[in-house]
Amino acid sequence: MNFFEHLYDASITIGGHGITWREIIGNLFGLASAIGGMRRQVWAWPIGIVGNALLFTVFFALGFTAHGGQVLFGQAGRQVFFIITSIYGWWLWQRNRAGKGSHVPAVQPHWATGRQRLLSLGFVVVAVVFVQWISRVIGVGWPAPSWYYWADAWIFVGSIVATYAMARGWNDFWLAWIAVDLVGVPELIHFKYYPSAALYAIYAAFVIWGFIVWLRVSRKTDRGAYLSEELVSS
């Protein structure tokens, strides 16, 4: 095994379980991206992409694996879609901030419209049913329990919707992340991805904080717009 293979497979043992540094570092990049997202900074997207790439190698069990070959396709697949939606978010936030200076937030938080929510909900229902079905047809290479397919399908689809909503600046994306974490954390604990489970639990607390921050910003903006309209009409 050469130097790069050693570096790729570097791991530590916690509680009798081997954990790659890729899993730990990938989640730390994810946490940094979430902080950047709360602050509405463009750099949140490329930082997140690096974390997604690292976590893909973990959940797809490439190289060293400490989890008995239990490949989590939903967790791995969503990293790919994270990268795709992150490229979209990166482009959109960069475009929004063009000519405004790096200190200016890249997006204005606001709630999705009723139509947007209805379309998102319809997509979630159809996509979750389809993803769990296709996962059963293809198989995951190990005797997965029935609940796993539904849980992983929701994690996969919910994460895509949340990332897209973040790119659009919807307050709703924080609520979508909470719903994903409520399923994702127990699943990761069950399959002994402990660093990811711990950081997802931290995400849950952080997401609540981020939601409050964005909600306050959107309310201030709405209040300012209302006062402006009042001044114009008077």
Instruction: Evaluate if residue 154 carries a pLDDT over 80.
Output: yes
Q: What is the pLDDT of residue 125?
A: 96
How many C-beta atoms surround the C-beta of residue 31 within 10 A? 17
pLDDT tens, residue by residue, 91-146: 988 888 776 666 667 788 899 999 999 999 999 999 999 999 988 888 766 678 88
Q: What is the pLDDT of residue 225?
A: 47
Query: Which residue is it, tokens 């602050």?
Result: 39
Percent of the chain residues topping a pLDDT of 90: 22
Are residues 153 and 128 in contact, defined by beta-carbon separation less than 8 angstroms? yes
Q: What is the pLDDT of residue 47?
A: 94
Nearest-Å Rg of the Cα atoms of the chain is 19
Secondary structure letter of residue 99 according to DSSP:
T
Are residues 196 and 55 in contact, defined by beta-carbon separation less than 8 angstroms? yes
- The number of residues in the chain equals 234
Taking the C-alpha atoms of residue 190 and residue 72, their distance in angstroms, rounded to an integer, is: 12
The average confidence (pLDDT) of the chain is 80
**Tokens describing residue 121:** 């909900």
Angle at 91 between CA 200 and CA 33, to 5 degrees: 20
Q: How far is CA 198 from CA 27, 62, 193, in A?
A: 10, 22, 9
pLDDT tens, residue by residue, 173-200: 889 989 998 998 898 888 777 766 877 7
Query: Is the model more confident about 157 or about 30?
Result: 157
Give the dihedral of Cα atoms 156, 42, 106, 182; nearest 10 deg: 30
Collapsing DSSP to helix, strand or coil, 110 comes out as strand
pLDDT tens, residue by residue, 54-97: 888 887 765 444 444 456 666 677 788 889 888 998 998 888 87
Q: What is the pLDDT of residue 114?
A: 94
Taking the C-alpha atoms of residue 221 and residue 185, their distance in angstroms, rounded to an integer, is: 34
Q: What is the pLDDT of residue 203?
A: 77
**Tokens describing residue 56:** 């893909």
